[in-house]
Amino acid sequence: MKIFNNYNIKNESTFRIGATVKEVIFPNTIEELISVAANADYILGNCSNVLFSSENINKKIIITKKLDKFSVNEDTIKVECGTKGPLIAKEAAKRGLTGFEFLIGFPGSFGGMVCMNASAHNQSIADTFVRCRIFNLRTQNIQELNKTQMEFSYRNSLISDGSCILLDAEFKLKQDDEVKINEIMKRNIEFRQSRQPSLQFGNAGSIFKNPPNDSAGRLLDLCDFKGVEEGGAKVFDKHANFIINYNNATSKDVLTLMNKMYSKVKEKYTIKLTPEIKYIGDENTKEYELWKTMKENI
């Protein structure tokens, strides 16, 4: 595995924001991941749902993007935690397998997608999930869990609390027409392009989770946040639940803007939005105070 000290994390994040991290580790195998996992502060995949601090970060971080092996056996697909969603969506389509069309526009990897039960376009990870292997960071044991044991719900699963990490997962898809599957993926991509920012501008996807029976984007739109700027960060013009890094934004820019969005919705609708992204920085900073305010309802 590769280990870097004082590693510039900025280019690992789809937000393209971040400073120097004390230690960053890139395991090449599941066994290497297990050997270092217990002593890490954070274990991340493609860093597509993360805001790193623009101040130096005194943490040990593992990035699993090199753990990208997968296999296909008839209608069953097995993936390692660092495997990217779009890659597997295309592989499934080649074999006439349906169930992963929604992953075509996701920049994330399966470790995070399984953890948060990623979903879009009336499909979710839980729909095709069969079983997975996890590493329990408390007991330092490998466990195998089935779909029921994973307790999937909206943006949540048994392992969302960070006590365990995904090693690999198995999914069972259904046979369908390849042309039809590719057409669905094409529509999904067109939908995302029409409503969501491309990675031309750094972003981390949806900023807040949808509250029960409502939409975070709708609430933020009603609060007139589209196009609102803070430093180099800006709320996306076409969807108010996205923040883009359009002019060398700092993490403080993003967190300040998030805090304004959170506070306005709370004031106007008495709804406390829950961040969907993860913030990583040291606890003794003003940034962390902004982050803590938005985590009060968790």
Arch. (CATH architecture) of 2-63: 2-Layer Sandwich (3.30)
Place of tokens 């890139």: 26
Regions of the chain short of the pLDDT cut 70 = 296-298
| Cα separations in angstroms, 216 against 194, 222, 251, 256 | 18, 10, 21, 18
Q: How far apart are CA 11 and CA 266, in angstroms?
A: 33
Bridge partners (DSSP) of residue 24 are 4, 61
Give the DSSP per-residue string, 105-138: G---BHHHHHHTT-EETTEEHHHHEEEEEEEETT
- At residue 221, what is the residue type? D
Q: Do 204 and 48 form a contact (C-beta atoms < 8 A)?
A: yes
Residue 298: what pLDDT? 43
Strands (DSSP E) contained in 27-94 are 42-44, 50-52, 57-63, 70-73, 76-80
Is 155 among the catalytic positions? yes
Catalytically annotated residue among 16, 131, 155, 192: 155
Assigned CATH for 216-294: 3.90.78.10
Residue 295: what pLDDT? 80
Q: Do 59 and 160 form a contact (C-beta atoms < 8 A)?
A: no
For 230-276, the pLDDT digits (tens) are 999 999 999 999 999 999 999 999 999 999 999 999 999 999 999 99
**Torsions phi, psi for 92 (to 5 deg):** -65, -45
What residue spans define the domains of the chain? 2-63, 70-193, 216-294
| Cα separations in angstroms, 273 against 52, 105, 212 | 20, 24, 10
Catalytically annotated residue among 151, 178, 229, 276: 276
Catalytically annotated residue among 206, 230, 251, 287: 206
Instruction: Give the right CATH number for 70-193 from 3.40.1080.10, 3.30.365.10, 1.10.3720.10, 3.30.465.10.
Output: 3.30.465.10
Residue 235: what pLDDT? 98
Residue 113: what pLDDT? 96
Residue 296: what pLDDT? 64
Place of tokens 């042309």: 179
